[in-house]
Amino acid sequence: MSGHSKWANIRVKKTAQDAKRGKVFTRHARLIEIAARSGGGDPVMNPTLRTAIENAKEDSVPNANIERAIQKGTGALKGEAMQEMVFEAYGPAGTAYIIECLSDNRNRTIANVKLLISKHGGRVAEGGAVAWMFERKGLVIAELPVSIPVDDLELELIDLGAEDFAVGGNVIRVVTSMTDWSKVRDALKKKNATIDSAGLSYIPKQKVPVNDTATADKVASFIEAIEEDDDVSEVHTNAEVLLAVAA
């Protein structure tokens, strides 16, 4: 029985990992499609597309998926046009959220996201009610090799446009202007850092501290439930959990 249980656990874990990987691939494909539709299918002439392709390759998206997304964007392959959508919401304990979506069916996405927000203890906010609490910034998160001296690296990143950064263990989180994040990403890659994510993000101007386990669990559940929707690409919050969230 123990062997069976071990295999069942491995299978469940692998299924979850495969589902997560599939969503990552889908998100990149949709971003590539939108970029190709707005600026053309040549990454040399379309910097937004070039960046989308680079980010997709960082997450090991197959070339066939990338090519198919470009063809959909340029109209070479038929399909419903992909569009970007943004929702604003309040969640547990007055925390605020910006929810980015990539969708080929606006009505479906609106219905699903609103239902998820209300079902998990939040409420949809009017346009602008939450957005003013955030700034659109570049964000790079990377795992550093142990051989890199962090003090020297921080000075270099400031010269490249870093506005803020935090280091925890071997992970560095760098905030930049909307135009400088790619320079920071490239500099870290040259130092053999592993890029976990790089691109534009919504950064809270002020964070809301979460100090108790019950609220922390509610915030985590709220975010996880919304992220599970296929059309949701990113969830940004001003919540700052100051303790470990219960498993």
Question: Each residue of 218-229: pLDDT tens digit?
Answer: 999 999 999 999
Q: Quick one: 152 and 198 in the same domain? A: yes
CATH number, domain with residue 21:
1.10.10.200
The CA radius of gyration of the chain, in Å to the nearest whole number, is: 19
Q: Quick one: 144 and 199 in the same domain? A: yes
Q: Quick one: 193 and 227 in the same domain? A: no
In a domain, 246, yes or no: no
Least confident of 4-13, 15-24, 170-179, 236-245: 4-13
Structure token pair of residue 167: 């280091």
pLDDT digits 0-9 by tens, 120-170: 999 999 999 999 999 999 999 999 987 787 777 888 999 999 999 888 888
Q: Quick one: 196 and 148 in the same domain? A: yes
Q: Which domain holds residue 121?
A: 83-132+209-241
Rounded CA separation 245/160 (Å): 35
Q: Quick one: 60 and 108 in the same domain? A: no
In a domain, 18, yes or no: yes
What pTM was estimated for this model as a whole? Answer: 0.78
Strand 194-204 relative to strand 208-210, pairing: unpaired
Count of domains forming the chain:
3
Which residue(s) pair with 139 in the sheet? Answer: 175, 199
pLDDT digits 0-9 by tens, 80-98: 888 899 999 999 999 999 9
> In sequence order, which residues have a C-beta less than 8 Å from that of residue 9 and are 6 or more positions away?
none
Position with higher pLDDT, 208 vs 152: 208
Q: Quick one: 124 and 228 in the same domain? A: yes
Rounded CA separation 5/13 (Å): 12
